[in-house]
Amino acid sequence: EAAEAAAAEAAAVGAEEDEEVRQLVETGNMEQLANLVLNGEGHRLIGQKSDDPELQGFLNNVPAYMASFSKIT
């Protein structure tokens, strides 16, 4: 039961994080999205879509940014 409760809590936190990212993408807040990548949370941006070509280009490159940062650290 404890493991199920922990999994449910983790899923809830994940959903809240996804909502935050979705809103940042919708508003085109590239600065905050870049901060997520710089803070090691780029995985949260993978699979996000934007109608803004510049923002979509950034989102498409998140895995490459993450790989570059992992080599530096």
For residue 5, pLDDT beyond 90: no
Q: List pLDDT tens digits, range 42-72.
A: 999 999 999 999 999 999 999 998 988 766 6
For residue 8, pLDDT beyond 60: no
Fill in the amino acid letter for 73: T
CA neighbor of 44 nearest in space, from 29, 52, 33, 54: 33
pLDDT band of residue 13 (cuts 50, 70, 90) is low
Q: Cβ-count burial of 66 within 10 angstroms (0-12 exposed, 13-18 middle, 19+ buried)?
A: middle
pTM of the prediction? 0.73
Q: List pLDDT tens digits, range 30-43.
A: 999 999 999 999 99
